[in-house]
Amino acid sequence: MSGTLYIVATPLGNLEDMTFRAVRLLKEADLIAAEDTRHSKKLLGHYGITTPTIACHEYNETAKAHDLIHRLENGTTIALISDAGTPLISDPGFRLVSQAHKKGIPIVPVPGCNAAVTGLSAAGLPTDTFLFLGFPPKKQGRLDSFLNDAARHKATLIFYESPRRVIRLISSAITAFGDRQACLARELTKQYEEFIRGPLSLILSTLEERETIKGECVLFIHGEDEQPAGLSLDQIEAMIRDGLNQDTRTGELAKKIAGLANIPKSKIYDMILSLKNRS
Ligand code: SAM
């Protein structure tokens, strides 16, 4: 009888985001196929999991899948894990799972974390339909046509991106979509977890003010149509200037604009102070 292939989700950062079932199955498996065995050592050590590990990553998956399928056919139970979140979601494992299906090997998913859905649950954008677009192309020309294709979708758009390229993604998105409502989720479940919500232009200017952008990022962008009215960054700044010219109190002004712009009052408050300092 063949063994079972378990696809086990692991935490995005916070080690407590592990299910009891995932821990038990990793302990009971004969072998853990890990994207990076050194990286997973910390998680496995934390839960006292002593199951042997073997590397199965992007670069060796084709060759490794053959070996793992052979072991599964001979009755070995294997748990596949990636560095973070759900294997196969912008992570290795597709070749292994498709070959296992072809061979009739039982495949059991063990659910848990995923950055796209975790971030979406707190992004403040529609969740009834969403489109996961994974990592966008790195080359500018391909990125532009990828975004132009995405522009017609009504679903909330979800992108994974490295902190080094996130500014470029947001400015290219403004060109392709206009200044839509969006949310950048950074370092989900970790110590410095952050959500920056508002029009794309506001997220862009917030990031541009920083010396460096660190950590892992997911970008959520409102689908086409039916966006809450919102305001662009230029419109917000113009309203602040008008309010200051009319000597409106800072708190009152922040409250009024925050309501119209659909972004937190504290953010507008900071913008008012920074405009006051500049003038
Ligand atoms: N398998 C993972 C999942 O289920 O979400 C995704 C792996 S993919 C190689 C890594 C990307 O996922 C990162 O570049 C980032 O876009 C996103 N990501 C992973 N962990 C994250 C976190 N803690 N906060 C924000 N984004 C995260």
pLDDT in tens, 26-66: 999 999 999 999 999 999 999 999 999 999 998 888 889 99
Quick one: 273 and 194 in the same domain?
A: no
Of 53, 80, 113, the one marking the end of a domain is 113
Paired residues of 10 in beta bridges: 85
How many distinct structural domains can be found in the chain? 3
Predicted confidence band of residue 146 (pLDDT cuts 50, 70, 90): very high
- Choosing from 7, 8, 10, 12 the residue with most ligand 1 atoms within 8 A of its CB, the one to mutate for a pocket test is 12
Residue 228 maps to a domain? no
List C-alpha distances in Å: 264 to 79, 162, 268.
Answer: 43, 26, 7
Question: Which pLDDT does position 226 carry in this prediction?
Answer: 59
Does the beta carbon of 189 lie inside 6 Å of ligand 1?
yes
Tell me, in angstroms, the distance from the centre of ligand 1 to residue 190's CA.
12
- Nearest Cα neighbor of 222 from 182, 188, 254 is 182
Residue 208 maps to a domain? yes
Quick one: 91 and 138 in the same domain?
A: no
Quick one: 138 and 204 in the same domain?
A: yes
Of 69, 96, 113, the one marking the end of a domain is 113
- 114 vs 43: CA distance, rounded Å: 16
> Which residues constitute the domain of residue 258?
233-278
Paired residues of 185 in beta bridges: 195, 218
- What mean pLDDT do residues 155-170 have? 98
CATH of the domain at 176: 3.30.950.10
Tell me, in angstroms, the distance from the centre of ligand 1 to residue 66's CA.
27
- Choosing from 88, 158, 216 the residue with most ligand 1 atoms within 8 A of its CB, the one to mutate for a pocket test is 216
Question: Which pLDDT does position 261 carry in this prediction?
Answer: 77
Flag whether pLDDT at 234 surpasses 70: yes
Quick one: 242 and 215 in the same domain?
A: no
Of 177, 195, 221, the one marking the end of a domain is 221
Quick one: 156 and 75 in the same domain?
A: no
> Do 31 and 51 touch, CB atoms closer than 8 A?
yes
- 184 vs 12: CA distance, rounded Å: 16
Does the beta carbon of 193 lie inside 6 Å of ligand 1?
no
Write down the pTM of the prediction: 0.85
Query: Torsions phi, psi of 122, nearest 5?
Result: -120, 5
pLDDT > 90: what percent of the chain? 77
Q: What is the CA radius of gyration of the chain?
A: 23
Strand spans (E) along the chain: 5-8, 31-34, 53-55, 78-81, 107-110, 130-132, 156-161, 181-186, 194-199, 217-221
- 189 vs 18: CA distance, rounded Å: 12
